[in-house]
Structure 1
Amino acid sequence: YIYFTSGSTGEPKGVMCEHAGMLNHVCAKIHDLGIGEGDVVAQTAPQCFDISLWQLVSALLVGGRTLLVEQEAVLDAARFLDRIVGGRVAVVQVVPSYLEVVLSYLTLHPRELPDLKCVSVTGEAVKKELVQRWFATQPAIKLVNAYGLTETSDDTNHEVMDRAPDRERVPLGHPIHNVHVYVVDQHLSPVPLGAPGEIVFSGVCVSRGYINDPERTRRAFMPDPHREGRRLYRSGDYGRWLPEGKLEFLGRRDTQVKVSGFRIEIGEIENTLLRLHGVRDCAAVVTGRVDHGKRLLAFYSGERPLDANALRDQLGESLPEYMVPSAFHWRRSLPLTENGKIDRKALTALAGELDVAEQDRAGPSTATEQRLAAAWAEVLGIAKYQIGRRDHFFDLGGTSLSALKLAITLGRAVSLKDLTDHPILADLATLIDGRAERRSENSSA
């Protein structure tokens, strides 16, 4: 079977996965997550993502049931929990940033999760603080930190936890059965225990390669020098072995990044942006805010600035939502290194400065606008003074997850649809004030 993942050349990479690798992974999920007869597993991922495979079939293989959770419910924490509780779900997998949204909602609206026994997180690094918060509120429900890639038939490592780890980084855990993981140097020789190196994989998990792309396949897949007849996959991830035999993730080696739990390659975004009329050169960079995840921004050059909404709409025709930059910055020319390449370090530094620089804009005026600005600042991780009354929530780095957080912060005074339809702060404030006025008139009548 073939799953497509983002490619740096502007074209998706079709990964040719083996049935044996998928089955091995599903069996590991059944064993490590404790899926048994009668259990319900929630399928929360769209079919275009590989994690949907195990979510769909694992329970069915042991006499359980799969609950299909529609994306509209996933995008509303209250509806999501209604589906989980009402469907008697035992096992669910989400990205850590979404689990944070669910925890925030449960803090304000506590409820029992009587059938849930295991939550798996994957797609991005999970913070120790989130694990601590989880077990502080749900001590009886196990948490599994899962790690893997499409090229390795999904997850290759599971860290099953019943309490927060002692280390600052949450481990990736041990490899699943029939999977061999090495941490190697540039010569593919294993590094000493505790030393950093590239994470490479061998065993039944390794896919055949990329369809119709022998050159990329040659660079990433090769014979395993340590096991005759086996093949290696070079992940581009860096990590190290811990003394207890668990893997620890240290970061990426190249331009692949993860934003909001999605693995993307910067080149695909840039190539799509370059095809737009009026864009002469461009670069996409990632900037991070403490405790607020990563934000994707685009710098571009051309004769004149272009309308950000138009750029966003045009990119959205070719790219999924999570690959569309949250903000666009025009420059007459982009900074270059000494050898004439775009200076990405300079742009990343500039992106950080733009995140904290005070903008020349009209500030919030009414009481509702002030309250909204404070809530936006909280969920977006920026200073309140950076938010103007005509600012666009998604231009400031808002995502569907931060929109969910905003709805929770405001006591569900606004919905995700409200924010999508009225993303300008002043317009959203007008909507809220109008509803309050109508409620007042109805009560007086």
Structure 2
Amino acid sequence: MMYSIIDIETTGGHASGNRIIEIAIYKFDGEKITDTYQTLINPERRIPVFITSLTGIDTEMVADAPVFADVAREITDFTRDSVFVAHNVNFDYTFVKKELQALNMPYNLPKLCTVRLSRKIFPGLPSYSLGNLCGSLGIDVQNRHRAAGDAEATVRLLNKLLLNDTEGFIPKSLKKNSKETLLPANLPREQFDALPETFGVYYFHDHKGKVIYVGKANNIKKRVISHFSGKQQNQKSQQFMQAIYGLSYEVCGSELLSLLLESHEIKKYFPVYNSIQKFGEKNYGIYQYEDNAGFIRLSIAKVNKLQHPLISFRYISEARTFLLEKVRTFQLCHRRSGLQTAPCSDVELCTACKGTTRSTAYNVKMKRALATFEHPDHSYIIKQPGRTRDEYAVIVVEAGRYLGYAYIPADLSGSTIEELKPFVNRHPDNRDIQKILAMHQRKSMVIAV
């Protein structure tokens, strides 16, 4: 098997807004170096001072160097039919692939990451950065932070990995169905393999164990891998991948329970890579008034500080959909419900516009509809599936205040809030929780108590 050990130097840490300024490739057959390729590359922009201080490469040094387009074919030809190997491979591979994509040149090679391989084959070392790792393994590194020096050190590292891979981890990593190279360099594979394929909340941790991201999922394993299978070209996503050192999860019984737990955990940990949880402001409300003929009417209007709507929505389309469902269910008038301005005498069941229904009779139907709108002070229980067949879950709201949820053994029954309170895992109530519950109520039935 032929390996192409590659190291690049760049103008910055993410592929979406930076360019390659140097590349070195060492062809290695598993025993010896068979060929090398190295060149400076003109990034067609100035090289930042901090990159010059790190690598020693400045703008003048690359002024007469080829641009990437001039060497692209050489790079693809040189690495053809080989395994792309690098220390934190997704960084180097993403840069090379993006440069080639800009030239409409496809590039797909199998990959190996010497960070992940080292963590598996040489566990327990204090650091897996290239310099520290080579120091621990007795590998001499010359010309650090230049492409050729780092690439040559990575060749020696790969050689040690091949010689010490007694469990065949390297060939396993190269199998097509292996997700090894998708995972962040510092994330243990065992933690990913342990993920269940069910509802729940997952947590990414940094090198100190601190939670840096919380997410919810209908399928935890599938959702987690989706974080790693994107292009990862922007600065934030690449920093995120490099910051992940651990992964944990908590199984939930349903999507609703996952949403509630996720919201609670984000506010508990304030993870650095989570956007602050915000639901859109409710911009449109449904208002009630009585016309000159005594009919109760509804209208949709923008929410303002002077009037309190019966119920509010982020988008006007959501308000109209909500009203349309009430009109159909309670046989109301489209015009008097704020859905149209023209008389609706031709609309089926609209007897109000036809003059065959008096306001008193019509208002009875309208009041029944209004009774199904949100009532913030009522108490209710939402029953949900449990995490296993041996339990079920309940979400408890008392006097409009969210108390929390509980997983109840299947052989225990409880139909009142007082009976369920001792089991409830108490969580703080807040606007985000109330909005999650409100969205669920519009879609489902709840048990009022």
The two structures have a TM-score, normalised by structure 2, of 0.23
Q: Which has the higher contact order (CA 8 A, sep 6+)?
A: 1
The two structures have a TM-score, normalised by structure 1, of 0.23
Q: Which one has the largest radius of gyration?
A: 2
